[in-house]
Amino acid sequence: MNRPATLAAVFAAATKKIDDIPTVLLPADTTLFRSFNPESPHTRLPKPTAGNHVSKLQANKLLFPGDGVLELKNRFSGPSYNSGIPAAAGLYCVLQQQAMVNEAMHYIRKVGVWALTGRCVIKIRLMGSMLVADLSPHNPRSADFFGSWERTFGSRWSIPRIARWRAG
């Protein structure tokens, strides 16, 4: 971490904007999707033998965020590298399967038909309602939030830039 004091100042100002984060209340029975690399040391999932399945116990481990104190290069979560700022963990999911493919195409840099090759997809059904942050660029409230952030902190301190700077 090259500039911990600067990061601490941005964090202090950002905590004042916490109530502005766009959220959505997902009702019970909502379906979410998450993809992951089963070969990653952070999401290792043993391949079942032919005719068998992955146990619920093993699959449920994938519902816990893998980052927080670990640096997994996520944009909005992970370690802060500053003792005054707590690490933040995040579980990244989508509501629509095509969003998962689009995201994989962007981050994994594969064309659509191959975007999820070598990855596992889990389908999650909520048993109760859940309030979640909706940081999708397609959500007008997210665009307003990020625009407000940049008006407050300047484009140099956009959240994705801070995340890249923090990780780099």
Tens-digit pLDDT string for the chain (168 aa)? 567 777 777 777 777 777 888 888 999 999 999 888 888 777 777 777 888 888 888 888 878 777 777 777 766 677 777 777 777 777 888 888 888 888 888 878 888 888 888 888 888 899 999 998 887 777 788 878 877 777 776 665 555 444 444 444
Nearest to 77 by CA among 42, 118, 28, 38: 42
pLDDT at 129: 94
pTM across the whole model: 0.69
Pairing status of strand 130-133 against strand 23-26: antiparallel
pLDDT at 28: 95
CA 154/CA 36 separation, integer angstroms: 33
Nearest to 112 by CA among 95, 97, 94, 134: 97
CA 88/CA 77 separation, integer angstroms: 5
CA 96/CA 75 separation, integer angstroms: 20
CA 18/CA 36 separation, integer angstroms: 28
pLDDT at 139: 78
Q: Residue 31 in contact with residue 122, Cβ under 8 Å?
A: no
Backbone angles phi, psi at 56, to 5 degrees: -60, -35
* CA-atom Rg of the chain in angstroms: 18
pLDDT at 30: 95
pLDDT at 32: 92
Q: Residue 122 in contact with residue 116, Cβ under 8 Å?
A: no
